[in-house]
């Protein structure tokens, strides 16, 4: 079971972040400050720029390209996983983790789930296809958001420069690849190659996070709360106060 969990974590970490690079970030929380009115003249040109950078169907293409690249060689990606570092981060001792250096994760998964690779491919095909359909319906809103951002960040003169550039052969080619360039095999392979190096640095990342919060008191437990706080917490969670308990792993 332990190896199965490690296998799942390993593949999740091996997945190149091109998908995250290309899918728009979640909308920021609404601000209480009124939005600054956008100059209509700038917005009109910015909409043409956004149309070039996010043409209809771009996200469907993006999802398909990203998925194909990630699913190309599951076995190879798994063999490249630094299992010792992953296991130590997950709580294994150095002695236990060292034994994993001789483990071929693809062989483990072939025994644990003979249909694992096929299952992953079918799952990703279905998920990315559905996500592509969803983002296709959102494209008009995304283009309008991009147009507003460009109108806010560029002057009318600069926007006209961009518009003229995108009308040239070079500009047309650039606009067509600006969003999808992160799914190019050269970029995707670089992302895969970075994973072992990143995992080696993970203890450093975790230590930095630990130091950053060292001055803060530890999270409180249920027993540390006042009766009034327990009542407020139970109400916020919509549950009986007697059923409140600490999250697992904090006791």
37 contacts 110 by C-beta, under 8 angstroms:
no
- Give CA–CA dist 51/225, Å, rounded: 54
Weakly modelled stretches of the chain, pLDDT under 70: 1-35, 67-94, 96-105, 249-251
The first and second tokens of residue 19, run together, are: 């998908």
pLDDT of residue 199: 73
pLDDT of residue 163: 97
73 contacts 42 by C-beta, under 8 angstroms:
no
Nearest to 138 by CA among 54, 241, 198, 242: 54
Nearest to 8 by CA among 153, 142, 98, 116: 116
pLDDT of residue 97: 63
Please tell me the pTM assigned to this model. Answer: 0.61
113-133: pLDDT as tens digits: 888 878 888 888 888 889 889
Nearest to 43 by CA among 186, 132, 146: 146
79 contacts 105 by C-beta, under 8 angstroms:
yes
168-211: pLDDT as tens digits: 999 999 999 998 888 888 888 887 778 778 777 888 888 899 99
């Amino acid at each position: 079971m332990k190896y199965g969990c490690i296998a799942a974590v390993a593949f999740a970490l091996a997945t190149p972040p091109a998908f995250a690079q290309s899918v728009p970030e979640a909308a920021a929380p609404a601000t209480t400050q009124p939005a600054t009115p956008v100059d209509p003249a700038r917005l009109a040109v910015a909409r043409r720029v956004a149309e070039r950078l996010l043409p209809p169907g771009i996200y469907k293409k993006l999802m398909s390209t990203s998925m194909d690249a990630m699913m190309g060689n599951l076995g190879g990606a798994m063999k490249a996983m630094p299992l010792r570092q992953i296991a130590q981060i997950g709580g294994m001792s150095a002695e236990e983790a060292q034994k994993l250096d001789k483990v071929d994760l693809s062989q483990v998964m072939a025994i644990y789930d003979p249909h694992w690779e096929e299952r992953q491919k079918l799952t990703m095909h279905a998920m990315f296809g559905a996500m592509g359909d969803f983002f296709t319906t959102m494209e008009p809103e995304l283009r309008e958001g991009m147009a507003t951002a460009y109108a806010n960040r560029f002057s009318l003169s600069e926007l006209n420069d961009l518009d003229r550039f995108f009308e040239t052969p070079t500009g047309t080619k650039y606009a067509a690849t600006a969003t999808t360039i992160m799914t190019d095999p050269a970029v995707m392979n670089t992302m895969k190659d970075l994973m072992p190096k990143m995992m080696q640095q993970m203890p450093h990342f975790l230590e930095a996070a630990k130091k950053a919060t060292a001055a803060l008191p530890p999270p409180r437990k249920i027993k540390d709360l006042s009766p009034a706080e327990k009542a407020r917490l139970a109400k916020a969670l919509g549950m009986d106060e007697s059923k409140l308990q600490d999250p697992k792993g904090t006791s």
